[in-house]
Amino acid sequence: MPRSLSPVLRLFITVTSLVVTIGLAACSAGATAPGANAPAAGPASWPDIESAARAEGTLVLATHVGSGYVEFAEKAQKKFPWLQIQATSMKASDFTARSIVEQQNGQYLWDLHVGPLSNIFTVLTPAGALQPISPFLDSLPAESRDASKWAGGFELFTDPANPVSFVNQLSLGGEILINRELIPPGTLTSADELVDPRYSGKFVSQILSVSNAATMSLAALMAEKDEAFVKKLVNDQKMVQVETSRQATEWVVQGRYAIAFGADVTHLADLQKGGVGKNVERVNFGQSVLANGISVLKDAPHPNATKVFLAWFLSQEGQDTWASTSTVQSSSRRLDVKIYNPDDTPDYPNIGKYKVIQGTASGDAVLNKTLALTKNAPR
């Protein structure tokens, strides 16, 4: 600084420079603050991404509950022996509550969630607990995101305006369980018969005051029928409500009730493999579809391992592993994946005909309308 300047002017210039320096530092810190939604800049080429993933060495994955999800995670681990996949199975409702509390306490522990998207869409998305998945998808090899291989094109998100969850699977909605020892085959074959007075008192349902498998099945019926039908069903048919889908399933298997809404079909499949509940039939009366998919958690601790997993998961091999393993309802939007569960698989080549997709923005209004009718249903 020139010595000819007055002391006052020299002091002014010094203070001004200090303020500018502090401001620039603050802007720089703000651009990289924890909690930013965009993933940090990383390697551009795929070999560099794979190398960075090996350096990270870990992937923290959350899946829905069920033996099939556990088996799927085990197969993923075999695919990547160099990557420690820490997979935890839990109900989506439990995961959403847990991850929000963790993030509120500055803990960003999870990379990915894969499974049903209803709670992910209605709870985690508005809470800001996810980050946009598009930048991750954009970095993947072309084979994984080839639009011609996917029904409806590659990009299908729970909300196009906020693409945080990618939909890899749709399954037919409106499913219930019927114990055919109590209600013989050939009877109760249509949705209309559900409100027949002769079936009053024969229903068990997962609790109807919140979003869950039961209320989503009712929402599927709402999409096909109307509010009056759903209101009559929940108010006049004397549904006994229980806290868990597992309990609803077991009560129908045991013959305590003949019809179940909100059952756990994965648990039913496990029981039937053991020779129990062979007389219980899964019936689909609704015309909406349910979304399953994958989401990247906010500030995922292993972004490159996340990309490597996504590249496999969305490949033909990964989606075939998913469709053949995870649940008895699984399928894939990939058109080159075998259909393993035809009774639960929608008409993928004509995917545009499904206007209500639960677990996405299109199904939110129908579900909320259903909840308005069911939240005060007699128990």
At 316, is the secondary structure helix, strand, or coil? helix
Q: Which one has a higher pLDDT value, 364 or 294?
A: 294
Please classify residue 263 by burial: count the beta carbons closer than 10 Å to its beta carbon, then call 0-12 exposed, 13-18 middle and 19+ buried: buried
pLDDT of residue 317: 98
Q: Which two tokens stand for residue 345?
A: 């698989």
Q: What percent of the chain has pLDDT over 70?
A: 89
Is residue 90 within 8 Å of 62, Cβ to Cβ? Answer: yes
pLDDT tens column, 155-209? 999 999 999 999 999 988 778 999 999 999 999 999 999 999 999 999 999 999 8
User: In sequence order, which residues have a C-beta less than 8 Å from that of residue 346 and are 6 or more positions away?
Assistant: 170, 171, 172, 289, 331, 354
pTM score: 0.75
Question: Selecting from 3.40.50.12780, 3.30.365.10, 3.40.190.10, 3.30.70.1350, what CATH number does the domain 174-287+367-374 have?
Answer: 3.40.190.10
User: In sequence order, which residues have a C-beta less than 8 Å from that of residue 82 and are 6 or more positions away?
Assistant: 54, 57
- Hey, how many other C-beta atoms are within 10 angstroms of the C-beta on 231? 16
What residues does each domain of the chain span?
46-171+290-346, 174-287+367-374
Angstrom distance (rounded) from CA 261 to CA 218: 8
E strand spans, the chain:
58-63, 84-89, 112-116, 130-131, 165-172, 175-179, 203-206, 240-242, 259-261, 280-284, 289-297, 357-358
Q: Tell me, what DSSP letter sits at residue 124? A: I
Matching fold, domains 46-171+290-346 and 174-287+367-374: yes
Q: Which two tokens stand for residue 139?
A: 């970095």
The answer to whether domain 46-171+290-346 has CATH 2.60.120.10 is no
Q: Which two tokens stand for residue 307?
A: 């990309």
Q: Which two tokens stand for residue 242?
A: 């229980």
Average pLDDT of the segment spanning 34-42: 47
